[in-house]
Amino acid sequence: MPERIDLITFLGTHGYNLYVYAPKGDRQHRERWREPYSSDVMNDFCRTIRAAQAVGVTFCYAISPGHDVEYGESADFQHITNKLCAFYQLGVRSFALLLDDIPADFHHAADREHYTTFAAAHAAICNRLYVWLKALDTTCTLSMCPTDYAGTAPFSNYLHELGDKLHPAINVYYTGPDVCTKVIDTVTTAQFSQAVQRQPIIWDNYPVNDGGMHTDMHIGPIRGRDAMLFSTVRGFVVNPMNQAEASKVALYTFADYFADPHGYQPENSWHRALHAVTGSESAAALRYFAENSLRSCIEKPGSPYLESLVNQLLAELENEQCLTQSATVATFNQYIEAVDDAVYHLKYRMDNLSLRQNLLPWIEVLELWLSAGQRALAIFAMHAQGDEIEQPLSQLQAVYQAARTHPKQIGASALQPLIERVLLSQQIKEAQL
């Protein structure tokens, strides 16, 4: 909750007006959604909601019962309304029913007998909840996330039926052509609007890094969002990473895009974001880290400059150039040393300890890749001078193994082809001997 309050304060400061509470890891939100929260947790929610109100951010409580709810069962509907009523009493007027990431089939036999389709059940429970909310307070609003929340035209029969049967005032989330998508434009959003018979709210799955993306740190700027999206959608929400402080970099760039979509310049916004999150003393160091951690659904490769240097080095090796006199080697070494100094600063000198803790696992794997790259290039030089390389080669193999097997991934793995080239050349030499 303290992280959440801090993040909501950041959001309000940068022009956001909505916070959707929907962490799948909250057991009372999803896995054990029927259970009420304890009084201590509700007190935390109360402080969070008040903090949101203080900075002009609407707090939306979402519940995610779809994995085992019985859609036509009055007891389950009562569990949902009990949960929402508890938040209503804390001042919440914005709610969401999330039916995403569930099997597209009924969990209970009674629902299969009662509803002709999955879409009919979803529309029925949403409509029923909307009527209940409006009876409670006319200012209440309801959004929902369908089971099919991504894709392109013509879209599924489920979405068309849902749009036809769902109350027109209920908002529907849409992530774009893919769950995590590189480009969201007005064409696909307008086509989705036709399918569900209303303009959607974009649920942007960047910079989120949950599930299969937990190995990555998404710290680059937002790209690929049409400047005219505001004309084809009702709203736009951003799904942050598990790391709240590090998420502020991408969130800052989103704020710039929202404020001026036509004038938005990702690189300029990114520079300002790095300064805003770390302060001037650490912004340059964070930039070195971030430009080596760009791999995501919207940007590849993960380390474009380092990858270009590695490709130049490999080309020179292929042409049998002497690397000891190569300008590329000098540039490579200077850059690796600069990145290494930067991550040292982030690890031991940065004042923003929350960001330091968020980044630490990726800092450590970056250090391993940098060390392996430096060792690989040094072995070439040692071999050219006729020096003994058995021990340095063994050390390289150990560091390389640690980098490859680290639980986190980073763009500096662009060094891998260079390292493999060193190891392969030594294997060939040994075989020839």
Residue 88 sits at the vertex; the CA angle it makes with 83 and 93, to the nearest 5 degrees, is 120
In the three-class reduction of DSSP (H, G, I as helix; E, B as strand; rest coil), residue 348 is classed as: helix
Q: How many CB atoms lie within 10 A of CB 27?
A: 12
Read off the pLDDT of residues 38-86 as tens digits, 9 standing for 90 and up.
999 999 999 999 999 999 999 999 999 999 999 998 999 999 999 999 9
100 labelled catalytic: no
Identity at 202, one-letter amino acid code: I
Residue 132 pLDDT level (bands cut at 50, 70, 90): very high
> pTM surpassing 0.85?
yes
Read off the pLDDT of residues 280-333 as tens digits, 9 standing for 90 and up.
999 999 999 999 999 998 988 899 999 999 999 998 877 766 666 688 889 999
Read off the pLDDT of residues 329-378 as tens digits, 9 standing for 90 and up.
899 999 999 999 999 999 999 999 999 999 999 999 999 999 999 999 88
Which CATH topology does 304-432 take?
A: Methane Monooxygenase Hydroxylase; Chain G, domain 1 (1.20.58)
Residue 433 pLDDT level (bands cut at 50, 70, 90): very low
In this prediction, residues 97-120 reach a mean pLDDT of 94
Where exactly does CATH 3.20.20.80 map onto the chain? 2-279
Where exactly does CATH 1.20.58.460 map onto the chain? 304-432
Task: Give the strands of the sheet with 201-204, arranged side by side.
Answer: 18-21, 58-63, 94-98, 141-145, 171-174, 201-204, 235-238
Find, among 314, 254, 330, the residue nearest to 16 by Cα.
Answer: 254
Asked if the bond preceding 266 is cis, omega within 30° of 0, the reply is: no
Q: Determine contact, residues 196/173, Cβ cutoff 8 Å.
A: no
Domain 2-279 CATH assignment equals 3.20.20.80 = yes
Question: Is residue 117 exposed (0-12), middle (13-18) or buried (19+ Cβ within 10 Å)?
Answer: middle
Catalytic residue among 26, 101, 185, 210: 101
Asked if the bond preceding 200 is cis, omega within 30° of 0, the reply is: no
